[in-house]
């Protein structure tokens, strides 16, 4: 197979000799926006992230295999890929562990007042806080019960939380206490202490959490978004931040988050630059997944 590999896989060059040893021909493109090192119809397989945002997939007439370095499919034209019966794989499971750890860390940062304590440390101020909260016994609602949602459920369960999932496939599945259909979202929001969003951005999930959903939530509840910014109506979130207890936001509708966004200055909001997926185990997990999938190609 002729395979075009892009710099979206940071360690690709270390593995190209092994891929070529499997009988594949490989070309490398560091920046996906740059000119291709070959005619598009040369590539029968690609390992990439956002390659087709700069190079129309319709020009890749010989394409039959795509390996994404991302967990999401929102940067590739899935309707076209399905219509052409192109085999596609994402990076499922690669980033789930650091993202789940991030979700727990963000909640604990708010529950334990760590931002305040850090500022006190900088001022050399010894002042106790009497309003810290525990994770134990809290009700966690996870929207999206795939790999990331499942890893989140494992960790919140370990802290003594009761975890409910919302997913297109209602089922009984550990470590969730229960997994319910999307139609149950509003009812579950009324009871949730923590809402964690780990679902993909689709036509159905865009704006899933809007003003009405936020109004249903408890005044001291938290929202954690480690999925895609578009899953939350950001303007509604700004308006309702005084109603809920806080938010941990790693993704936004517009990235970078504009400097004029009111979210930057909100005391009960943690903002990070789409960074929750980063972990020192990603390199090995991604390489194992890609090499396993490539080895099956002929």
Pairwise CA distance, residues 144 & 150, whole Å: 9
pLDDT of residue 221: 98
Count the Cβ atoms, other than its own, within 10 Å of residue 128: 7
Pairwise CA distance, residues 108 & 113, whole Å: 8
pLDDT of residue 153: 98
Average pLDDT for residues 229-243, to the nearest whole number? 97
For the whole model, what pTM was predicted?
A: 0.94
Pairwise CA distance, residues 246 & 221, whole Å: 7
Residues identified as active-site: 228, 255, 274
- Residues 159-189: pLDDT tens digits? 999 999 999 999 999 999 999 999 999 999 9
Q: Which two tokens stand for residue 121?
A: 């440390």
pLDDT of residue 199: 95
Concatenated DSSP letters of 141-175 = EEE--SHHHHHHHHHHHHTT-EEEEE-SS-B--TT
- Residues 72-92: pLDDT tens digits? 999 999 999 999 999 999 999
Pairwise CA distance, residues 9 & 99, whole Å: 19
- Residues 123-155: pLDDT tens digits? 999 999 999 999 999 999 999 999 999 999 999
User: Measuring CA to CA, how many Å separate 266 from each of 138, 228, 240?
Assistant: 24, 20, 12
Q: Which domains does the chain have, with CATH numbers?
A: 2-94+280-294 (3.40.50.720), 96-271 (3.40.50.720)
What is the layout of strands, in order, in the sheet containing 222-225? 178-180, 162-166, 139-143, 194-197, 222-225, 246-249, 269-271
Average pLDDT, the chain: 97
- Residues 189-218: pLDDT tens digits? 999 999 999 999 999 999 999 999 999 999
Pairwise CA distance, residues 170 & 153, whole Å: 15
- Residues 39-49: pLDDT tens digits? 999 999 999 99
* Helix residue ranges per DSSP H, 77-210: 78-83, 96-111, 114-122, 147-158, 185-189
- Residues 112-128: pLDDT tens digits? 999 999 999 999 999 99
Task: Fill in the DSSP letter of residue 277.
Answer: T
- Residues 260-296: pLDDT tens digits? 999 999 999 999 999 999 999 999 999 999 999 999 9
pLDDT of residue 26: 98
pLDDT of residue 5: 98
């Amino acid at each position: 197979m002729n395979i075009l590999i892009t710099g979206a896989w940071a360690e690709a060059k270390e593995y190209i000799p092994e891929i070529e040893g499997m009988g594949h021909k490989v070309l490398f493109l560091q920046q996906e926006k740059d000119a291709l090192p070959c005619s598009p119809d040369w590539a029968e397989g690609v390992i990439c992230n956002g390659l087709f945002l700069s190079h129309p997939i319709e020009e890749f007439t010989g394409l039959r295999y795509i390996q994404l370095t991302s967990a999401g499919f929102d940067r590739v034209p899935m309707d076209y890929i399905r219509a052409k019966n192109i085999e596609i794989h994402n990076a499922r499971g690669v980033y789930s562990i650091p993202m789940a750890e991030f979700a727990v860390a963000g909640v604990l940062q708010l529950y334990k007042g760590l931002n305040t304590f850090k500022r006190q440390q900088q001022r050399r101020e010894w002042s106790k806080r009497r309003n810290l909260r525990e994770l134990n016994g809290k009700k966690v609602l996870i929207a999206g019960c795939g790999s990331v949602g499942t890893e989140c459920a494992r960790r919140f369960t370990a802290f003594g939380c009761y975890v409910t999932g919302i997913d297109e496939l209602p089922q009984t599945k550990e470590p969730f206490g229960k997994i319910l259909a999307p139609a149950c979202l509003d009812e579950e929001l009324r009871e949730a202490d923590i809402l964690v969003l780990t679902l993909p951005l689709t036509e159905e999930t865009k704006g899933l959490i809007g003003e009405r959903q936020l109004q249903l939530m408890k005044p001291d509840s938290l929202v954690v978004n480690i999925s895609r910014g578009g899953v939350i109506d950001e303007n509604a979130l700004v308006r309702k931040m005084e109603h809920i207890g806080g938010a941990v936001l790693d993704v936004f509708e517009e990235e970078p988050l504009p400097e004029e966004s009111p979210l930057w200055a909100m005391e009960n909001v943690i903002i990070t630059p789409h960074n929750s997926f980063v972990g020192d185990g990603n390199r090995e997990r991604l390489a194992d997944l890609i090499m396993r999938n490539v080895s099956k190609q002929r």
